[in-house]
Amino acid sequence: MTDFDAIVIGSGVSGGWAAKELTEKGLKVLMLDRGRMVEHKKDYITEGHGPWKLAYRGTLPPAEVARDHFLGKWGGAASTDRTHFYNNDRLNPFDYENSKPFRWVRPNQVGGKSLIWSRVTLRWSQLNFDSNKQDGHGSPWPIGYDDIAPWYSYVEKYAGIAGQKEGLFQLPDGEFQPPHPMNVAEEWVKERLEKAMPGRKLIHTRCANMTEDKPEQGRSKCQKRDQCARGCSFGAYFSTQAVTLPAARKTGNLTLLSDKVVTNLEYDGKTRRVTGVRVVDANTQEAHTYTGRIVFLCASAMASTQILLNSRLPNSGLSVFNSSGVLGRYIMDHVMRTNVWGTVPDGALDPLVQFGRRPTGVYIPRFRNLQGQDEGVDFVRGYAFQGAAGRAIATPGGFGVALKQGMRRYAPWRIGFNAFAECLPYKDNSLTLNPARLDRFGVPLLVFNVTFKDNETRMMNDAQRQGETMLRAAGLVSVGSGQEEHVPGDAIHEMGGACMGDDPTSSVVNRWSQAHDAPNLFVTDGSQMASTNCVNPSLTFMALTARACDHAVKLVQAGAI
């Protein structure tokens, strides 16, 4: 007899879906999260605040940033409208190690990163499921586009995705609400780019900010306040709090416990089953073990890998889930620090000013190596661009009348893009544990041994060249570009560690996200990814999670696990 039918570890993008699906299918579910409780609406403490109501008017002063080793290096969290949704460095100082630089961006609450993500939601294509097999990197995917397509549709319809159908093979269409409109400058660039360079496309970014209401879920469409990272009481974007948690709670089958740090899974080698989930209470430090017939591990790619690595037989340094020898290997993140920009020439759109905000921008889908290896291209796989155009108010000099007249003018329209490239799955890009150093919950520190290599560098160089070429071809002027240091983790799309495959000697989970070493364990977050593609990954985690839940419940009902 177990405490629960299922235990879900983590309540972010993946865990939220697992809780929704399993409870709706009638299972009694315990969802555990190491973060503090955040209730929808009530706990969005900076929502709607003007800068004058935010600490430091929203921007942390340099001295404050310097006190936090993480915030200082990863600027995305350094705004005081959202710092409370990130891991507190001062409570958890240096609780991971870098043998090589890695930026591990972590949330600090129930809902995980679903509250702070940028909501870009793109499907994978068959091209991406074939890539490992075709070029021999990583372990081959055991599933293809047809296996996941119905689950993409399922999660898209429920979550509410805005986008436009384009009929692109490399970026399949989904179940879309109308897109967020492009502004005049983006339309101007689109028209000229697509004419000048046939095959290149500039499309609406597809995103989980709704353009239509979902009254049946108590959610309204995006109000375009541009405050998503603070939480949204309209429920206009996909988050655990707005979407999956209410659905799971409605069933009456969910128990949710916050502030519970899962340290490891307990395992019976004879039955090959996970027998318990050990937690340490984040506030009292008390340890407790919960039992469930099945366990869904959704703590996010790096954290789930840490839990698996730390699930060891007594007095053993070896994880019970590593019969393949690849647990903790093939750690990946997108490469993203290449930027290109350009200006719409004088006269083209001068009189046109558009006011207002949007939750997202425009997207140039992958165009490299779509039909096999392109001639003259010195890397495998590809990259895409995310960007937006905008027009700022002019910043005139002078005084009095001259200043006032100058302030009526606008700066020219400018457009900028950021390349997102695929990182290959390298076996030696790995996570290990340092048993000599424990965090405050007794868990050995995670050590990151991850670097980008030649293929990633070549892709970034090509993205920089091609980015400039496209903007020039579209007729933009003052075109420029640059690359910053490429540090894994920086793209916040970390994946791998427990990769999927049919062969138990070279993968950790099977085609149903089910651990080869424990059939009652499902690992459905980014750790299961055998490659990264170049698109934002979370929609794929959602679809794979819903698919795995469906399979797991069928197995439970059949008495197979």
Ligand X SMILES: Cc1cc2nc3c(=O)[nH]c(=O)nc-3n(C[C@H](O)[C@H](O)[C@H](O)COP(=O)(O)OP(=O)(O)OC[C@H]3O[C@@H](n4cnc5c(N)ncnc54)[C@H](O)[C@@H]3O)c2cc1C
* Residue 174 in contact with ligand X, rule: CB under 6 A: no
Min. distance of Cβ 475 from ligand X in angstroms? 29
* Residue 19 in contact with ligand X, rule: CB under 6 A: no
Asked if 111 and 239 touch (Cβ cutoff 8 Å), the reply is yes
- Structural tokens at position 426: 């390298």
Per CB under 6 A, contacts with ligand X among 94-133 are 105, 107, 112-114, 116-120
* Residue owning tokens 């430091």: 56
Cβ-based nearer residue to ligand X, 517 or 525: 525
Min. distance of Cβ 75 from ligand X in angstroms? 11
Among 28, 34, 230, 273, binds ligand X (CB under 6 A): 34
Min. distance of Cβ 9 from ligand X in angstroms? 5
* Residue 388 in contact with ligand X, rule: CB under 6 A: no
* Residue 541 in contact with ligand X, rule: CB under 6 A: yes
Min. distance of Cβ 204 from ligand X in angstroms? 14
* Residue 298 in contact with ligand X, rule: CB under 6 A: yes
Cβ-based nearer residue to ligand X, 357 or 465: 357
Min. distance of Cβ 205 from ligand X in angstroms? 9
Per CB under 6 A, contacts with ligand X among 507-536 are 525-526, 536
Asked if 366 and 382 touch (Cβ cutoff 8 Å), the reply is yes
Asked if 416 and 392 touch (Cβ cutoff 8 Å), the reply is no
Report the alpha-carbon distance of residue 433 to residue 97 in Å, rounded.
9
Cβ-based nearer residue to ligand X, 96 or 341: 96
Report the alpha-carbon distance of residue 224 to residue 331 in Å, rounded.
35
Among 159, 245, 307, 335, binds ligand X (CB under 6 A): 307
Min. distance of Cβ 128 from ligand X in angstroms? 14
Per CB under 6 A, contacts with ligand X among 231-290 are 261-262
Among 35, 361, 365, 416, binds ligand X (CB under 6 A): 35
Min. distance of Cβ 299 from ligand X in angstroms? 4
Cβ-based nearer residue to ligand X, 455 or 536: 536
Asked if 255 and 31 touch (Cβ cutoff 8 Å), the reply is yes
* Residue 369 in contact with ligand X, rule: CB under 6 A: no
With CB under 6 A as the rule, give the number of residues binding ligand X: 37
Min. distance of Cβ 119 from ligand X in angstroms? 5
* Residue 439 in contact with ligand X, rule: CB under 6 A: no
Min. distance of Cβ 186 from ligand X in angstroms? 18
Residue type, 415: I
Helices (H) and strands (E) in the chain, counts: 11, 21
Query: Residue 254: which residues within 8 A CB-CB, separation 6 or more?
Result: 19, 23, 29, 31, 248
Q: Of the candidates 264, 405, 386, 369, which has an alpha carbon nearest to the alpha carbon of residue 334?
A: 386
Query: Residue 434: which residues within 8 A CB-CB, separation 6 or more?
Result: 97, 444, 445, 446, 447
Cβ-based nearer residue to ligand X, 87 or 507: 87
| Residue span binding ligand X (CB under 6 A) among the ranges 137-145, 318-326, 462-470, 537-545 | 537-545
Cβ-based nearer residue to ligand X, 342 or 497: 497
- Beta pairing class for 260-268 and 273-281: antiparallel
Instruction: Please give the helix or strand (H or E) that residue 201 lies within, else none.
Output: none
Phi-psi region of 370 (alpha: psi -120 to 50; beta: other; left: phi over 0): alpha
| Residue span binding ligand X (CB under 6 A) among the ranges 27-35, 174-182, 243-251, 373-381 | 27-35
Min. distance of Cβ 107 from ligand X in angstroms? 5
Min. distance of Cβ 147 from ligand X in angstroms? 20
Among 245, 299, 419, 529, binds ligand X (CB under 6 A): 299
Q: Is the dihedral of CA 42, 43, 45, 47 positive or negative?
A: negative
- What are the distances in angstroms from CA 205 to CA 60, 195, 459, 475? 30, 20, 22, 22
Beta bridge partners of 262: 279
Asked if 460 and 490 touch (Cβ cutoff 8 Å), the reply is no
* Residue 498 in contact with ligand X, rule: CB under 6 A: no
User: DSSP letters along 455-505, please?
Assistant: HHHHHHHHHHHHHHHHHHHTT-EEEEEEE----TTTTS--EEES-B-S-TT
* Residue 15 in contact with ligand X, rule: CB under 6 A: yes
Min. distance of Cβ 40 from ligand X in angstroms? 15
Residue nearest ligand X, CB atom distance = 12
Asked if 333 and 100 touch (Cβ cutoff 8 Å), the reply is no
Among 58, 64, 72, 76, binds ligand X (CB under 6 A): 76
* Residue 209 in contact with ligand X, rule: CB under 6 A: no
Q: Of the candidates 453, 460, 447, 462, which has an alpha carbon nearest to the alpha carbon of residue 426?
A: 453
* Residue 206 in contact with ligand X, rule: CB under 6 A: no
Min. distance of Cβ 112 from ligand X in angstroms? 2
Cβ-based nearer residue to ligand X, 282 or 471: 282
Cβ-based nearer residue to ligand X, 262 or 344: 262
H helices of 13-166, in order, are 13-24, 62-67, 69-73, 126-135, 145-159
Which residues contact ligand X by CB under 6 A?
A: 9-15, 32-35, 76, 105, 107, 112-114, 116-120, 261-262, 298-300, 303, 307, 492-493, 525-526, 536-538, 541
